[in-house]
Amino acid sequence: MNEKNLANNQTAYSVAHEIHGRVRFHVYRLAKDSKYAEKLKALVESDSRVTQVRINTQAASIAISYESDLSDEQMREHFINLIQTAPNIATPKRFTASSITSAIFDAIVNLIDSARNINKVRKGITKKPSKPDFWERALQTLKATMKTLKSATMFVLPKRSSQAPSTLSSSN
């Protein structure tokens, strides 16, 4: 086990085991930082040469199987780089069905308001403004209907976050 001496801002690791096409690292941060573990796994899995990734948070290890024309030493160095850069990657924000639905309804309402403004300009160019015309009444009704649908839908939708199942594995 060859533990690396690292600067304060780097992640401590050691190579626990290595054979052609597979390497296992002890990454001590995996045992304490679940967000780091998720980021590291996602980052390693995004590499097309990687065939399998398993993280064992209790043992603070990550096992990576890969197929590559590169040497095992080059692949090990590549994975070490990923171990060091994983804390710096941005993770996508969690979303809810209601937040997505709300955004869709808001976009529809904005589109309706834009159509109403276009209708007002068209009407102002062609004739003097008087009572609301057919299109203005139709768009007002559609906007009110969309707001009602949004309220009803938001009431029905669950409030919890949608996310992929945990990417962490508890065995190695």
Return the number of other C-beta atoms located less than 10 Å from residue 17's C-beta.
12
Query: Which residue's structure tokens are 């938001």?
Result: 154
**pLDDT single digits (tens) 151-165:** 888 777 766 554 444
pLDDT of residue 148: 87
Q: Residue 93 has which token pair?
A: 């924000």
> Where do the structural domains in the chain lie, given as residue ranges?
2-88, 95-162
pLDDT of residue 122: 76
**pLDDT single digits (tens) 38-63:** 999 989 998 999 999 999 999 999 99
Return the number of other C-beta atoms located less than 10 Å from residue 65's C-beta.
15
Q: Does the domain at residues 2-88 carry the CATH identifier 3.20.20.70?
A: no
Please give the Cα distance from 77 to 115 (Å, whole number).
57
Sequence-distant (6+) residues with CB within 8 A of 92 are none
Q: How far is CA 142 from CA 127, 152, 167, in A?
A: 24, 15, 43
Express as a percent the part of the chain with pLDDT over 90: 37
pLDDT of residue 87: 87
